[in-house]
Amino acid sequence: MNDIEKMHSRALYNPSDPEISKIQLSCLERLYDFNQTRPSEGDKRHRLLHEMFAEIGERCYIEPPFHANFGGRHVHFGDDVYANFNLTLVDDTHIYVGNRTMFGPNVTIATAGHPILPELRAQGYQYNVPVSIGDNCWIGASVTILPGVTIGDNVVVGAGSVVTKDLPDNVVAYGDPCKAVRTVNAHDKAYYFKELKIDPKLL
């Protein structure tokens, strides 16, 4: 395998490969263009996202500034994905996000890691492991999701959490390290925040 193939194989490789650097530079040029758009240039943003991403669904919105190692080249978004300011995607390999998932400000999703052994780090080696997030999730502000994590459907991750392990469907999770604290339950069908009740007409 060459280094480009190793990027998506979980193998150790050296990201300073000239061909990788060439591809990355092209991606970052388009990312720069996206981040320089004005708020009134929605059509331009939409067009650029479709050029930048591996896949992007309908009605997705990313609030600049947006940061990504490969400008979204290895990112797959479903429909109706929303990302607030400063979404950071370390997309050295694939990131999958389902439909109707929301990201608060300053969320980081990392697929890249480096060996613990200092001799290997000194040679510039890294490895990449994909991240997958399901449908209808809410990832709170300043959450960090680490390489190899899979998050199920309908998951809420509390602000400031560091997600190091997989999370199942239909849970509320938070902490550092992040853990599933409870399931989405009957209380959540009656209240949307503390003592604030949900109007039954909305359901």
**Would you name the residues annotated as active-site residues?**
114
Is the separation of the CB atoms in 13 and 125 below 8 Å? yes
Q: What is the DSSP letter of 200?
A: G
Give the burial class of 132: count Cβ atoms within 10 A of its Cβ; 0-12 exposed, 13-18 middle, 19 or more buried: middle
| CA 113/CA 90 separation, integer angstroms | 10
| Alpha-carbon 130 to chain mean position | 10
Is the separation of the CB atoms in 167 and 178 below 8 Å? yes
DSSP codes of every residue in 2-63: -HHHHTTTT--B-TT-HHHHHHHHHHHHHHHHHHT--TT-HHHHHHHHHHHSSEE-TT-EEP
Is the separation of the CB atoms in 74 and 109 below 8 Å? no
Residues contacting residue 202 through CB under 8 Å, at least 6 positions apart: none
